[in-house]
């Protein structure tokens, strides 16, 4: 894949036309998933729309949009579930759309999610197309749409919105637009706690590119001193003007790095002020949900407990295989020399998802934004002949549609 800023972004209209096959394919995959969900839910006497917009986290987001922060639930065991755990960008958009249209807050959340999922698909295509070509970009989008938990992309959750902001921030980094990348990272930080992954990618890309430019300038300056090879009298060679790595080129990087953490920092500090517990107040809010970071210890115990009986042991094996697959795909990405911003972003997303200490059933959807994991699979899929490509993508689409309907009509995403 090309290095940072070595290829410019195509014009917007041209970029949309180039992405059209990926976006149409994405819409078709998700439409089938929604259709199967509607049929399955109707057969069970449930409302598919309610499952998408008015259950689990979707209820918490719409309550924030409608009533603001301050609502909490006290459980019999003493735990306190506060809506301060939910970052504000999605509720803000729900409230804005509700104010501008006749839509309810739940309807607004559904519309925001659908639009954000298309923006995320376009961003994933742009990132993949930038380094691997159009066909690989289409494959990456189809794979992301056909993930077993892909139905979450159509729910009034924040995963689609976050993935859209993250993907376009990474694309901005790959095309050398650090300020835009930092601004999008700030918005991602207002969407989910894992916005830290986008901040890390922006900081890493800006620092590394600056260091490389300084090293290149130093090498260039060294070459312009001394005598010209083969000069008759040893006269010094006229020095070439160095590239402007200071001033105009440093400022965008510095501004991008400054902008990137502002969203998450602002919300975390506001929560600390509201709770009266200072900068660590948000961690106390998460502790009320029994959620934290323990390096994966609780998750490892959860998996180990599955091996106490034969039926649950199969689930334990499946979890181990799933984690191994995630790690293997990341290692393949490293070996394929994915750009450093993608590797940093994916590494942080995966680490935070797998090492959280609670809500083990949420881990598949928490990994949903880690789309660079799909790039090795997208490259393999892109090399298939048309008939095999259609067979594989069709099979994945059907499996995702059926599993999504089964999942939401069962335990669903917590």
Between CA 162 and CA 157 the distance in angstroms is 10
Cα(188)–Cα(89) distance, rounded to whole angstroms?
Answer: 8
Q: Is the dihedral of CA 168, 210, 9, 377 positive or negative?
A: negative
Q: What is the CA radius of gyration of the chain?
A: 24
DSSP element (H, E) containing 215? helix 195-223
Assess whether pLDDT exceeds 80 at residue 219: no
Angle (deg, nearest 10), helices 340-354 and 310-335: 160
CA atoms within 13 A on the CB side of 261: 11
Strands (E), 13-110: 72-74, 80-82
Flag whether pLDDT at 15 surpasses 90. no
Query: 189, 196 in Cβ contact below 8 A?
Result: yes
Q: Among candidates 306, 345, 59, which has minimal Cα distance to 199?
A: 345
Q: How far apart are CA 58 and CA 177, in angstroms?
A: 34
Is the pLDDT at 341 greater than 80, yes or no?
yes
Count of alpha carbons within 13 Å of 291, Cβ hemisphere only? 20
Task: Please state, in angstroms and as integers, the Cα–Cα distance from residue 53 to each residue in 59, 155, 158, 166, 349, following that order.
Answer: 7, 6, 12, 23, 25
Q: How far does Cα 156 stand from its chain's mean position?
A: 16
Mean pLDDT of the chain: 88
Closest C-alpha to 291, from 414, 190, 143, 170 = 414
What is the predicted pLDDT for the residue at 178? 94
pLDDT number for residue 221: 61
Which residues on adjacent β-strands are paired with residue 74?
80
In what helix (H) or strand (E) does residue 335 lie, and over which residues does it extend? helix 310-335
- Residue the block writes with tokens 């070996």: 335
The pLDDT of residue 239: 41
The single residue listed with the structure tokens 């089964």 is 406
State both tokens at 334. 């490293």
Write out pLDDT tens, residues 380-402: 999 999 999 999 999 999 999 99
Give me the pLDDT at residue 152, please: 96
Strand 80-82 with 72-74, pairing = antiparallel
236 pLDDT more than 50: no
* pLDDT tens-digit readout, 106-154: 999 999 999 999 999 999 999 999 999 999 999 999 999 999 999 999 9
Question: pLDDT confidence of 241, banded at 50, 70, 90?
Answer: very low
Q: What is the average pLDDT across 236-244?
A: 42
- What's the mean pLDDT in 15-30? 94
Give the residue among 369, 380, 396, 374 at the shortest CA–CA distance from 326: 374
- Could you tell me if 360 and 302 are in contact, meaning their C-beta atoms sit under 8 angstroms apart? yes
Placement of tokens 């680490």 in the chain:
351
In this predicted structure, the answer to whether residue 214 has a pLDDT above a threshold of 80 is no
Q: Name the residue ranges covered by the structural domains of the chain.
A: 22-216+250-408
Per-residue pLDDT tens for 54-112? Answer: 988 999 999 999 999 999 999 888 888 999 999 999 999 999 999 999 999 999 999 99
Q: What is the pTM of this model?
A: 0.90
pLDDT digits (tens, 9 = 90+) for 243-282: 444 445 789 999 999 999 999 999 999 999 999 888 889 9
| Minimum mean pLDDT range among 55-64, 147-156, 225-234, 366-375 | 225-234
Mean pLDDT value across residues 351-355: 93
Tokens of 39: 């049929």
- Distances 235 to 226, 231, 241 between C-alpha atoms, Å: 8, 7, 18
CA distance 221 to 78: 66
- Residue 28: band (very low, low, confident or very high) from pLDDT cuts 50, 70, 90: very high
- Between 29-33, 274-278, 374-378, the lowest mean confidence (pLDDT) is in 274-278
What is the DSSP code string of 92-104? HHHHHHHHHSS--
- Round to whole Å and give the CA distance between 414 and 81: 13
Task: Give pLDDT tens digits for 270-314.
Answer: 999 999 888 889 999 998 888 888 888 888 888 888 888 877 888
* Six token digits for residue 2: 């090309």
- DSSP-based three-state secondary structure for 227: strand
CA 273 distance to own-chain centroid: 28
């Amino acid at each position: 894949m090309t290095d940072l800023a070595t290829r410019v972004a195509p014009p917007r209209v041209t970029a949309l036309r180039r992405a059209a096959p990926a976006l149409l394919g994405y819409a078709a995959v998700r439409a089938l998933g929604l259709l199967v969900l509607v049929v399955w839910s109707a057969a069970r006497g449930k409302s598919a729309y309610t499952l998408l917009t008015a259950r689990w986290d979707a209820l918490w987001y719409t309550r924030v949009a409608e009533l603001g922060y301050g609502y909490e639930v006290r459980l019999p065991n003493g735990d306190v579930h506060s809506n301060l755990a939910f970052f504000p960008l999605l509720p803000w958009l729900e409230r804005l759309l509700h104010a501008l249209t006749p839509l309810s807050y739940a309807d607004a959340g559904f519309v925001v999610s659908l639009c954000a999922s298309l923006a995320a698909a376009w961003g994933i295509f742009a990132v993949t197309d930038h380094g691997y070509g159009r066909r690989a970009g289409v494959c990456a989008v189809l794979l992301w749409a056909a993930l077993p938990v892909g139905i979450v992309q159509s729910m009034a959750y924040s995963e689609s919105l976050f993935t859209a902001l993250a993907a376009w921030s990474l694309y901005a980094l790959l095309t050398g637009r650090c300020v835009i990348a930092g601004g999008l990272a700030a918005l991602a930080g207002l969407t989910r706690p894992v916005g830290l992954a986008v901040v890390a990618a922006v900081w890493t890309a800006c620092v590394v590119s600056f260091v490389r430019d300084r090293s290149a300038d130093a090498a260039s300056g060294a070459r312009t001193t001394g005598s010209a090879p083969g000069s008759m009298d040893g006269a010094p060679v006229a020095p070439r003007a160095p590239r402007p790595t200071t001033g105009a080129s440093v400022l965008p990087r510095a501004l991008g790095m400054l902008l990137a953490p502002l969203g998450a920092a602002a919300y975390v500090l506001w929560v600390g002020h509201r709770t009266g517990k200072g900068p660590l107040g948000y961690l106390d809010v998460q502790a009320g949900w029994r959620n934290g970071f323990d390096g994966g210890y609780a998750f490892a115990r959860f998996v180990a407990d599955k091996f106490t009986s034969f039926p649950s042991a199969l689930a334990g094996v499946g979890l181990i295989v799933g984690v191994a697959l995630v790690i293997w795909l990341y290692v393949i990405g490293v070996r394929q020399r994915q750009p450093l911003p993608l590797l940093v972003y994916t590494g942080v997303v995966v680490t935070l998802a797998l090492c959280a200490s609670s809500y083990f059933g949420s881990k598949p959807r928490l990994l949903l934004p880690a789309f660079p994991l799909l790039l090795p699979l997208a490259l393999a899929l892109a090399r298939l002949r048309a008939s095999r490509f259609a067979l594989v993508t069709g099979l994945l689409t059907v499996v995702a549609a059926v599993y999504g309907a089964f999942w939401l009509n069962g335990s669903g995403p917590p």
